[in-house]
Amino acid sequence: MNFKEGEILYLNKPLHWTSFALVNKVRYHISRKLGVKKIKVGHAGTLDPLATGVVIICTGKATKRIEEFQYHTKEYIATLKLGATTPSFDLEKDIDKIYPTEHITRDLVEETLQKFVGTIQQIPPAFSACKVEGKRAYEIARKGEEVTLKPKTLVIDEIELLNYHLPEIKIRVVCSKGTYIRALARDIGEALHSGAHLTSLTRTRIGNVYLKDCISAEDFENWLEQQNIDIIND
């Protein structure tokens, strides 16, 4: 392997880690292995700290391919709790409102999910990395200030109901770049004339890269020790 010329790594991001922290860990261990102070490392698609799953990490000259990977189709497994919302649309913030769920049936959920398949407009969450006048939206939202974001066009290829056990449902989503599953949870809740927020999220695929293909963050150092690595002196 030649990390300076460029390698593409598939990692499983742990819960509570930021994507940036995962990149830092990979960079640290590769730099240490190569005996260099710094090496270029980047990821192709952010995952929220409360999400786990596939992250593609590029090193060296392969970082030029990051944008290419970002446009690959992604697949997620998400658990939604119906009948309650949070300001962040996930568990980062506490529940702020309760809604009725007595009218919700499995058939209604199945029918509602299919309304989101295809090209849709989605307003990103206020607690997101979208920029508003040069600032990250989450920086403004965490100060308790109002955040106004414009709808974005995206594509949902598939939504499948995997488990129905009120107040929770589990779904599989195949979608395009730029899809916020937290925002999808919000919109599904509204479409059900109730509320919803995300309680767990795993990215199971990016393009042809599946979770089973990924190295766990905890095993990365040991994995690295077992590789045949080219040591190139500048």
Catalytically annotated residues: 48
Query: Which alpha helices (H) appear in 81-145, and where do they start and end?
Result: 106-114, 137-141
| CB 96, CB 135: distance < 8 Å | no
Tokens of 109: 């959920």
Give the torsion sign (CA, 17, 18, 19, 23): negative
The label of the residue with tokens 């300076």 reads: 4
Element of type H or E holding 51: strand 51-59
Burial class from Cβ neighbours inside 10 Å (0-12, 13-18, 19+) for residue 10 reads middle
**CA–CA gap between residue 179 and residue 176 (Å, rounded):** 6
